[in-house]
Amino acid sequence: MAQRRLRVMPMPFVNRRTPVPSTAPTPVQQPARPGRRTIVDSAIYENGIRVASPGSLAETFRALHSSNGGMAWIGLYRPSEAELHSLADEFDLHELAVEDAISAHQRPKLERYDDVLFVVLRAADYLDVPEEVAFGELHVFIGRNFVITVRHSESPDLSHVRRRMEADPELLAMGPESVLYAIIDTVVDEYAPVVAGLANDIDEIETQVFDRLDSNVSRRIYELSSEVIDFQRATHPLATVVEALQQGSEKYEVEEELQRKLRDVADHLTVVNERVDGFRSMLRDILTVNATLVTERQNARMAQLSELGHKQGEDTKKISAWAAILFTPSLIASIYGMNFSHMPELHWVWGYPFAVFLMVVLAVLLWFIFRKQNWL
């Protein structure tokens, strides 16, 4: 997809999350499955009340033209290029925005093309078992009398957003901006379980670090740090989007009630970003502490091994010293025990006392020598 930088102009009220760098992980776009409807829901609203539920894009276009100041809300899931080009022709969508919607893999952003506002949002969902954060991508086109949502993943599910808005006709009657607010508000609210899941993982890691010194804890810290960074890339860019919407609210005469709601969403997003930033700092500190504890444990082990080696060396010296002391008498005794015929010492009267005396003297002499060398 063509990457380009377009100047973001103030635009109608739109709720958005913290901005995410362009390196943010993006969901893999998949083609629509054969036989699967890409139009999740399509409706025409007048004064906040659903007046028509067309079954196709062509029927939606006709119903919108015949309505009295109505608004079309079209929800699509992995639409084909032909469907998006059909929408582009009908609502005069800019080709660059359509290109982004087709290829997906976008960072959260907000762009204005003439009278059409194009918003990219990244939803997040925490998966307990793999302890991972799954991300979804949502593109929203907002015009004078239409809202088009294009999802490239299962998340976020916008059906409850539609039900919520239809249950509040007064809010829905405020126009496409109110739908955009509701969508952004939902995306931000769904960040809360992700924050809670990451916080729980960090608590578990702290327990591992200080209680068990699990050898796999370093790997887990690294993997969780990657999840936090990916989450930051989904939330931080959204803050820029929300700020731009707030700045453009007065210029485009957005309802005061929607402006208040947008400020509330911005507050929630700020809390999320602060928590996520704190997570990254905590994981960095935990990794440092873990490395210190591992080093201390290795040093203690090395000290134990060194002490054991020293003790073994002392024992070896003692054994060697006693072996040398005992070897000398044994050598003398073995010589005189060979019983050869021509050994004058065997017929000497003082031969036996002398041999015993010599063995004792040599043994005592060796004992003093080894004692002086601290071998005994």
Q: Where in the chain are the domains?
A: 1-315, 316-372
Backbone angles phi, psi at 192, to 5 degrees: -60, -50
Indicate the pTM of the whole model: 0.70
Q: What's the sign of the alpha-carbon dihedral 344, 349, 353, 354?
A: negative
Nearest Cα neighbor of 183 from 136, 216, 250 is 136
β-bridge mates for residue 166, sequence order: none
Cβ neighbour number for residue 63 with a 10 Å cutoff: 18
| Residues near 351 by beta carbon (within 8 Å), at least 6 away in sequence | 336, 345
Above 60 in pLDDT, residue 211? yes
Give the Å distances, CA to CA, from 44 to 49, 50, 158, 361. 8, 6, 16, 118
What does the mean pLDDT of the chain come to?
82
Q: What is the pLDDT of residue 30?
A: 40
Average pLDDT over residues 180-201: 93
Instruction: Report how far residue 26's alpha carbon sits from residue 78's, in angstroms, rounded to the nearest whole number.
Output: 15
H-run or E-run covering 306:
helix 256-336
Choose between 247 and 34: higher pLDDT.
Answer: 247
Sheet-wide strand order for 39-46: 49-52, 39-46, 71-77, 146-151, 132-142, 116-127, 109-113
**Per-position b or e across 102-116, b if 16+ CB within 10 A of its CB:** bebbbbbbbbbbeeb
- The answer to whether the beta carbons of residues 27 and 137 sit under 8 Å apart is yes
Please calculate the CA angle 330-331-335 and round it to the nearest 5 degrees.
Answer: 115
Q: What is the pLDDT of residue 288?
A: 83
Read off the pLDDT of residues 332-354 as tens digits, 9 standing for 90 and up: 777 777 766 666 666 777 777 87
Give the Å distances, CA to CA, from 266 to 9, 39, 84, 190, 235. 19, 31, 31, 14, 11
- The answer to whether the beta carbons of residues 226 and 130 sit under 8 Å apart is no
The token pair at 166 is 């239809």
Amino acid identity of residue 316, one-letter, is T
CATH for the stretch 1-315: 3.30.460.20
Angle between helices 256-336 and 176-189 (to 10 degrees): 20
Q: What is the pLDDT of residue 182?
A: 93
Per-residue pLDDT band for 212 (boundaries 50, 70, 90) equals low
Read off the pLDDT of residues 17-32 as tens digits, 9 standing for 90 and up: 333 333 334 333 344 4
